[in-house]
Amino acid sequence: MIVQTARFGNIEVYPDTTWDFSVPILGFEEYRSFVGITQEDSPFEFIQSLEEGNLTFVLTDPFVFYPEYEFTLEQRWRDILQIEKEDEVIVRSVVTVRSPSDITLNLKAPIIMNPKSRKAAQIILEQSVYETRHPLNKIEDQEGRHADTVEK
């Protein structure tokens, strides 16, 4: 199937790259079908709505930037997403870019994906210390320098 998008132009979509959001992304409840678009050599990826060509989210693996990030996935989410084993889980955070010096991750409401069932959901971590705006520009890399999150 070919999908027309504002950000990527016409893209060919294959079933093994699509995600069905059983529980939609907050504020975008009417959109449930997305295609994943990865970038080589980048910690960032995209999910593009299949229903709205102008709707794209930037995602990242939160553990790349916050290795200590942890939470327990409740059984109800395991059931909804048909997760049977831990290795059937991909965790992503929505990235918000307000400016090159103001880039944040939403650790309060991660996107949980099951690559086996192709189901996904944005969940809210009710009892957590995480917030919706964790900065990327304040993270230091392993050598103690500030990580360059904008360009390489």
Per-residue pLDDT reduced to its tens digit, 35-87: 999 989 999 999 999 999 999 999 999 999 999 999 999 999 999 999 999 88
C-alpha 17: how far from its chain's center?
Answer: 14
Residue 70 amino acid letter: E
CA 96 to each of CA 2, 36, 59: distance values in angstroms, whole numbers, following the listed order: 27, 17, 9
Nearest to 47 by CA among 8, 97, 86: 8
Domains and CATH numbers, the chain: 2-135 (2.30.290.10)
Predicted model pTM: 0.86
Q: What residues pair up with 92 in beta bridges, in sequence order?
A: 111
Task: Provide Rg for the chain, Cα atoms.
Answer: 16
Phi (first) and psi of residue 122, to 5 degrees: -95, 120
